[in-house]
Amino acid sequence: MLAAGSFLDPLYKIVGLLLAVLYYPLHSLGLAIIVLTLIVMFVQLPLIAKQTRSMILMQRVQPEIKKIQQKYKDDRAKQNEELLKYYQENKINPLAGCLPLLLILPIGIAVLGTFRRPGIQYHIPRSGTFSKLYGMAGLRCGYCVAQPDKIELLRAQQAWECLSIMAIVAARASIDDNAQVENGRKNNSEVRKYVCGELDKMKFTYIPSHANFMMIDMRREVKPLIAAFKEKKVQVGRLFPPLPNFMRVTIGTRPQMERFVAAFKELTA
């Protein structure tokens, strides 16, 4: 659900549109963000340069300003009058260093906020599945969040033959079940921490993960180990050709992972 409206929403949408325009030829949101960041920096360069020059000038005249402040320290009205006179005579604007910042800040806020407000999601559909955190991998059910016109374009590619009515009902019900999501995230984190602790004790390394699976470096070809785990009634992930020595392990319940750890110790002893 999007947050309440903001006066910056139009700016969020503009930044989101720029990201969308960059995304389609690049086919990478990461590259689009990098390119947009470079563009924003280029646009801001004159403002930053003006701000820097103003700051340098103010530093140069600080001795004179301090003399005036010291001379009229007992008369604030006279002090302000003399400072204003000094600024006018030397064509100095003490606020010149702040004004560019007031223009830069909204742009920076918009770039950061466009992912949380109606910015990028206004132009680029967001999709996901109910496989992991929702615990319904076997249903092969996913979702897409987009503007109505984008949904109509996607509807032409919609397929129903792979989904049952029960899968759709379960998926829709899970959207409103916030407790299930929070409990799933909490249990997954706790059990993953337990498995990582056991692997650390056995001096096995793994790729750090915040998901519901992890990649463990078995230090040897993993294909025979997958078969060996299966013989012990423990199912682990398939072989990933780019990582022939890494075993993919999905995080299950605590009893399931305790059984996995016991089999792991036997097979790696």
- The per-residue pLDDT for 221 is 93
Q: Using pLDDT thresholds of 50, 70 and 90, give the confidence band for residue 1.
A: very low
Cα separation, 205 vs 256, whole angstroms: 21
> Are residues 105 and 145 both part of a single domain?
no
Helix 254-268 to helix 178-201 angle (10° resolution) is 20
pLDDT tens column, 200-216: 999 999 998 888 889 99
Give the count of alpha carbons within 13 A of 229, CB side only.
Answer: 23
The total of structural domains in the chain comes to: 3
- The per-residue pLDDT for 46 is 81
- List 247's β-bridge partners, or say none: 216
Containing structural domain, residue 172: 125-176
> Are residues 108 and 131 both part of a single domain?
no
User: Tell me, what CATH number does 263's domain have?
Assistant: 3.90.1150.10
Of 120, 135, 150, the domain-final residue: 120
pLDDT tens column, 67-124: 888 888 888 888 888 888 888 887 777 766 666 666 667 777 777 767 665 555 566 6
Q: Kindly report the length of the chain.
A: 269
- List 213's β-bridge partners, or say none: 250
CA-nearest of 155, 109, 9 to 17 is: 9
CA-nearest of 104, 95, 105, 93 to 47 is: 104
Q: In terms of pTM, does the model score above 0.75?
A: no
Asked whether residue 4 is domain-assigned, the answer is no
Q: What end-to-end distance do the CA atoms of the chain give, in Å? A: 50
Phi-psi region of 219 (alpha: psi -120 to 50; beta: other; left: phi over 0): left
Q: Maximum CA pair distance of the chain?
A: 91
